[in-house]
């Protein structure tokens, strides 16, 4: 099944990004296709390449890894601007794009799953 | 693929960014081929109350923005009747005419959607 995911919360403060990560891994393991991951609102912080939690899971690296595997991971451009997330701050395999990407994922996916508060 | 999207408004319009982002996302995706409706439940109904003045919060009033959705072909706005009643609100208190729906209808609207965007 084609699945798209939206994340509305940032890293560590909230479970959303972690739950999304585990959901995506489980879906991939079951043979589903992830057509896109959209980082919206504070969700864009999950793409900060300077995230460096001593001895703990690195949430940004996890989403970078998904991007590296060929899954389109998009952080909302406007949300990034609001939060000072400059293009040079984000991890390499997450792209910045607008709500057109969200619309694209809504159109392509058979299921759309949101992780937020 | 049929693409009936329901944007679910659950939160008060100020105090967090969700309502504003939900509105922005509707405006952003409405130009694409998606059949969008908006459903207001719980504190989400406050988003439509007339006479909002959040100037002291350095926010723009959101209520007045919702009638603009008609300009982007988003015509279907639903408000949950019990959520209104629990907050002492009547349909006349809202910025626009909306369809007031029961809990059963809320369930049907969500069931009939291909995708739900909860904010």
Tell me the per-residue pLDDT of B47-70, one tens digit each, with 9 for 90 and over.
Answer: 999 999 999 999 989 999 999 999
Secondary structure percentages of chain B, helix, strand, coil, to 5: 40, 20, 35
Q: Yes or no: say if A50 and A59 are a contact pair by the CB < 8 Å rule.
A: no
Tens digit of each residue's pLDDT (9 = 90 or more) over A7-62: 999 999 999 999 999 999 999 999 999 999 999 999 999 999 999 999 999 999 99
CB contact under 8 A, A98 and B28: yes
Minimal Cα distance from B28: which residue of A? A99
pLDDT at B1: 64
Q: How far is A115 from chain B (nearest CA, A)?
A: 9
> What pLDDT digit, counting tens, does each position of B29-49 carry?
999 989 999 999 999 999 999
Stated pTM of the model: 0.95
Predicted pLDDT of residue B77: 96
The helix or strand, by DSSP H or E, that contains position B7, with its residue range, turns out to be strand B4-9
Residues 21-40 of B with CB under 8 A from A: 21, 24-25, 28-29, 31-34
Which of B25, B33, B58 to mutate against chain A (most A CBs within 10 Å)?
B25
Are residues B29 and B3 in contact, defined by beta-carbon separation less than 8 angstroms?
A: no
pLDDT digits (tens, 9 = 90+) for A69-82: 999 999 999 999 99
CATH of the domain at A53: 3.40.1260.10
Q: Average the pLDDT over A88-105 and give the result.
A: 97
Give the SS3 label for residue A10.
Answer: coil
pLDDT in the model for residue B2 = 77
Mean pLDDT of chain B: 95
Query: What is the pLDDT at residue B75?
Result: 85
Nearest to A107 among B28, B33, B119 (CB): B33
Domains in chain A: how many in total? 1
| Catalytic status, residue A79 | no
Interface test with B, best of A43, A75, A79, A103 (most B CBs within 10 A): A103
ipTM of predicted assembly, 2 dp = 0.92
Q: Print the domain residue range for A89.
A: 2-115
Burial class (CB in 10 A: 0-12, 13-18, 19+), A102: buried
Cβ neighbours, 10 Å, residue B67: 13
Q: For chain B, which domains are there?
A: 4-118 (3.40.1260.10)
């Amino acid at each position: 099944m084609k699945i798209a995911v939206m994340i509305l919360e940032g890293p560590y403060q909230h479970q959303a990004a972690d739950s999304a990560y585990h959901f995506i891994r489980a879906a991939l393991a079951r043979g589903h296709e992830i057509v896109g991951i959209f980082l919206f609102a504070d969700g864009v912080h999950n793409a900060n390449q300077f995230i460096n939690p001593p001895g703990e899971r690195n949430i940004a690296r996890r989403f970078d890894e998904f991007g590296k595997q060929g899954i389109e991971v998009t952080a909302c451009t406007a949300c990034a601007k609001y939060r000072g997330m400059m293009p040079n701050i984000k991890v390499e395999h997450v792209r910045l794009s607008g709500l057109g990407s969200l619309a694209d994922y809504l159109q392509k996916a058979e299921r759309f799953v949101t992780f937020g508060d | 693929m049929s693409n009936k999207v329901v944007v679910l408004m659950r939160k008060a319009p100020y105090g967090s960014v969700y309502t504003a982002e939900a509105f922005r996302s509707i405006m952003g995706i409405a130009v694409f081929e998606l059949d969008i409706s908006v459903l207001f439940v719980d504190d989400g109904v406050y988003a439509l109350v007339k006479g909002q003045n959040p100037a002291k919060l350095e926010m723009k009033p959101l209520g007045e923005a919702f009638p603009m959705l008609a300009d982007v072909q988003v015509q279907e706005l639903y408000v949950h009747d019990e959520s209104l009643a629990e907050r002492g609100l009547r349909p006349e208190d809202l910025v626009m005419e909306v369809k007031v729906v029961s809990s059963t209808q809320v369930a049907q609207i969500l069931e009939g959607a291909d995708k739900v965007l909860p904010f």
